[in-house]
Amino acid sequence: MIAKSGSKRWVAAADQAARKAGVRVGMPAAKAQAIFRDLMLVDADPMADATALERIALWALTVYSPIVAVDGLDGIVMDTEGADHLQGGEQPMLERIANRFRGKSLMVRVAIADTWGAAHACARAIRRETVIVPRGETFRAVEKLPLSLLRLPEKIVDDLRMLGFRSIGELANTPRPPLSLRFGPEVGRRLDQMLGHLAEPIEPIRAPEWIEVSRAFAEPIGAAETINKYVGRLIVQLIDELERRGLGVRRADLIVEKVDGTRQAIRAGTAKPARDVAWLTKLFKDRTEQIEPGFGIERLKLVAVIAEPLVSAQYASCLVEEQTPDITPLIDILGNRGLRIFRLAPVASDVPERSVRRIGAAVEPLAETWVSHWRRPVRLLDRPERITVIALMPDHPPRSITWRGKRHQVIRADGPERIFGEWWKRDAEFDAVRDYFLVENEAGERLWIFRSGDGVDPETGDHAWFCHGIFA
Amino acid sequence: MSAARETVLADLRERISALEGGTAWRAGFLPFGVAEIDAVLSGGGLAHGALHEFAGGGSGTVDGAAAALFAAGIAARTNGHIAWCLTRPDLFMPALAQVGLHPDRVVFVEADREEEVLASMEECLSYGGLGAVVGELVRLPMVASRRLQLAAERTGTMAIVVRRWRRQTEANDFGQPTASTTRWRVSVLPSEPLPVEGVGRARWLLELIRSRAGECAEFEVGACDDKGRIHLFPRSLDRQNTASRSRHSA
């Protein structure tokens, strides 16, 4: 990437191969060309970069957190507090973000820290893809990092370097007054923001097409009942607006702006487009207790981040037959608490562990079920457990089995039910065979066991026995 | 004399149940369709707006397989959606489908902690309109069970708790009092003998350990069939009767 400033052309970014060849960011373009012949030069397009970054930020806003903003020229910043549990925690969330970018063959560095400044610095300094700075460890994490990550103007950074400062830690341990006298208040402000002594609210990015209703308060509010009352009114306003446009909300954010300039956001998602006052009210009322009013709330804003067309449908009125009630609101209530809600659906596979898949709880009924006349166990073990058996090969069920250190005499047995490997899925299963038996011991406990292999041909399996399930 | 006494007693019972909330009576009862079992349950079946507790016996205290299938059979005979709240998702759905519980009807709610299971059960119960709410739990404290019972009474939804312990020795916790209307222990018995090699229809020992306003009882039953029904096994086996044999047997 080559950027132009005036008549000077210099390297603005380089990929890994170029860096290996010795090209550095900031070096003149002519010099880079001299280092490596046939170097591919692309003119930088800051405008396109900015639009792409904004698009990424808008996407992240719909997926990860209600408060997202573009950070500098090359990053986005998110306030994920209270939103990470929907992604399964901080670490899984980071990994998922990294995977999403890698899937698009983009390089990404992700960091979570207590403050915007610390996360900014860590994300740009780490070599790994993801990093989480534990709570309260901000200073330890950033003290060794270079000054350039402090988000200060370049001039100040250069001057500080000239004075001998190298790392953020050194600067933070220096008395402030002389620094402010010489460089102005900027240095102290950035340091305080990084270490969390000074709040730095994130001004979230907004798309113009979103439906937004807000309410400002002349007198800051704080009581739980008052908050609930106004949230209820905002929901009614939002629903009116949605109705006018024929939309239903899929995801809504409640943004709370407090007197001290900080923001808190609550997000609620629905499984189907919703335009029902009671439904949305319930979703938000569940969680308004999480709002910390602090010194008071100045402004409440309710935004429909994702809205989808919702046409009114007429219900067939049938007086004779009772209708099964719609449970989507219930699914939403539980889903917004971070629980995993799903239905199970059949998959056309004979291999037991592959015959079930999870589908969304709000998916239309599939009306299909498993077709098998063989009995299936109620509990299927996560992975088959190795057992030792005494059995007559090849076709007879075992006489006795030892599972989890306990010996069971087999009184009755059914089988074998032969299941072949799915060679069209994995080459290793080309010859694989499992022979399933239902065995019952003297107490009446019924287990589902299998032998890998058909008992004759060693190609089909190593004749080891496993317990795979428990019958009722 | 005795007829007069009967009417007075029946009248008193009705008045007491009306005092107790009465919603259970409005929500109705789900009969097992087995006269002997329905006779010992007040109301002639499992009450809809009430909490019922099932546990396994022996190794079933840990895996809870028979208790879960018994619960699935009952849920299959209700109307509407079923919410199944759990922390360990090792339930094998094809088995539940085989007792008549269609996969479209069951919504699973998987939580990380037991308390979340209790909370989501209560939420499902108070939502109303579900056929039954099943929860798999290790502990069921008195307060939690009372909350579930009250939520079930309010909406007339059947609440079922399948108790599953981590170790067999912890199962004596089942003796602790809870607010559930009925408590059952379902233990596996050797299956129905067949004239040929193979495993016949599974049999369970069904122990009614506690029943509010009713007596305890014990039954030997054949496991749920493809409609979720159980049937009583005569203690002396009638080998000629092949009509009731499971279609899965060889």
pLDDT tens string A331-380: 888 888 888 899 999 998 888 989 999 998 888 888 888 887 788 999 99
Q: Which residue in B has a C-alpha nearest to residue A325's C-alpha?
A: B129
pLDDT in tens, B75-86: 999 988 999 999
CB count in 10 Å sphere of residue A382: 9
Instruction: List, in order, residues 6 or more apart from A449 with CB less than 8 Å away.
Output: A387, A389, A398, A401, A436, A437, A439, A465, A466, A467, A468
pLDDT at A24 over 80: no
Measured distance CA(A86)–CA(A96) in Å, rounded: 12
**Residue B250 corresponds to which amino acid?**
A
Looking at residue B180, its pLDDT comes to 92
Q: Provide the 3-class DSSP secondary structure of residue B61.
A: helix
Residues 6+ apart with CB under 8 A from A397: A391, A410, A413, A414, A415, A416, A437, A439
Distance from CA of A345 to the nearest CA of B (A): 6
The residues, any chain, with a CB within 8 Å of residue B21's CB and separated by 6 or more, are B153
Tell me the pLDDT band of B242, cut-offs 50, 70 and 90: very low
- Could you read off the pLDDT of B9-47 as tens digits, one per residue? 888 877 877 776 555 556 788 999 888 899 888 888 899
Integer Cα distance of B239 and A145 in angstroms:
83
Which residue from A minimizes the CA distance to B203?
A444
Instruction: Please indicate if any CB of chain B lies within 8 Å of the CB of A472.
Output: yes
Contacts 24+ apart (CB under 8 A), A384-393: A384/A450, A384/A466, A384/A467, A384/A468, A385/A466, A385/A467, A385/A468, A386/A464, A386/A465, A386/A466, A387/A449, A387/A465, A387/A466, A387/A467, A388/A465, A389/A449, A389/A465, A391/A451, A391/A465, A393/A455, A393/A456, A393/A463
The beta-carbon neighbor of A330 closest among B90, B102, B124 is B124
Which of the four pLDDT bands, split at 50, 70 and 90, describes residue A1? low
Q: Which tokens hold the place of A59?
A: 């996407």
A445 Cα to chain B: minimum distance (Å)? 6
Of residues A6 and A398, more confidence is placed in: A398
The alpha carbon of residue A416 and the mean position of all alpha carbons in its chain are separated, in whole angstroms, by 44
CA distance A118 to chain B (A): 31
Are the CB atoms for B204 and B70 separated by under 8 Å?
A: yes
Minimal CA separation from A67 to chain B, in Å: 27
Which A-chain residues 341-360 have CB contacts (< 8 A) with chain B?
Answer: 341-346, 352, 355-356
Q: How far apart are CA A225 and CA A233, in angstroms?
A: 12
In the block, tokens 């209530």 appear at A333
Pick B65's closest partner by Cβ from A355, A382, A472: A472
Q: For chain B, which residues make up each domain, given as ranges?
A: 22-232
Collect all residues with Cβ–Cβ distance below 8 Å to B219 and sequence separation of at least 6: B34, B36, B37, B205, B206, B207, B208, B232
The mean of the pLDDT values for chain A is 84
Mutation test of the interface with chain B: which of A285, A324, A334, choosing the one with the most B Cβ atoms within 10 A? A334
Residue A13 Rama label (left phi>0; alpha psi -120 to 50; beta): beta
Angstroms from B186 CA to nearest CA on chain A:
9
Among A322, A344, A352, beta carbon nearest to B103: A344
Cα B211-B217-B220 angle, rounded to 5 deg: 130
pLDDT over 90 for what percent of chain B?
Answer: 50
pLDDT in tens, A313-324: 665 555 555 566
Tokens 């004979």 belong to which residue? A350
Supply the DSSP string of A286-309, one letter for each residue.
Answer: TTGGG---TT-EEEEEEEEEEEEE
Q: Which of A20-24, A49-53, A431-435, B94-98 has the lowest mean pLDDT?
A: A20-24
Residue A216 clears pLDDT 80, i.e. is over it: yes
Query: What pLDDT is recorded for position B238?
Result: 41
- Number of inter-chain CB pairs under 8 A, A vs B: 166
Helix axes A154-162, A186-195, angle to 10 degrees: 90
Q: What is the fold, at CATH topology level, of the domain defined by B22-232?
A: Rossmann fold (3.40.50)
Q: Compute φ and ψ for A197, nearest 5 degrees.
A: -80, -15
**Most confident listed range (A106-110, A151-155, A172-176, A432-436):** A432-436
Q: Is A327 on the interface with B (CB under 8 A)?
A: yes
Given a cut of 60, whether residue B7 has pLDDT beyond it is yes
- pLDDT tier for residue A329 given thresholds of 50, 70 and 90: confident
- The answer to whether A362 faces chain B, any CB pair under 8 Å, is no
User: Phi then psi for A342, rounded to 5 degrees?
Assistant: -155, 165
- Cβ distance A375 to B198 less than 8 Å, yes or no, reads no
Report how far residue A58's alpha carbon sits from residue A160's, in angstroms, rounded to the nearest whole number: 36
Question: Tell me, what's the pLDDT at B249?
Answer: 40
pLDDT class of A192 with cuts at 50, 70, 90? confident
- A39 contacts chain B (CB < 8 A): no
> Across residues A54-67, what is the average pLDDT?
83
Task: Give the pLDDT score at B23.
Answer: 52
Domains of chain A in sequence order: 2-41 (3.40.1170), 47-195 (1.10.150.20), 211-309 (3.30.1490.100), 379-470 (no CATH)
d(CA A304, CA A170): 46
CA A173 to chain centroid, in Å, comes to 37
- Report the DSSP beta bridge partners of residue A359: A343
Residues on chain A touching B63 (C-beta within 8 angstroms): 378-379, 470
pLDDT number for residue B235: 61
What is the structure's pLDDT at A469?
93
Res B243: pLDDT: 41
Distance between A428 CA and the closest CA of chain B, angstroms: 26
Question: How many percent of chain A have pLDDT more than 70?
Answer: 95
User: What would the mean pLDDT of A284-301 be, rounded to a whole number?
Assistant: 84
- pLDDT, one tens digit per residue, over A401-454 is 999 999 999 999 998 899 988 888 888 888 889 999 999 999 999 999 999 988
pLDDT band at A262 (very low <50, low <70, confident <90, very high): confident
For residue A334, what are its two tokens? 């539980």
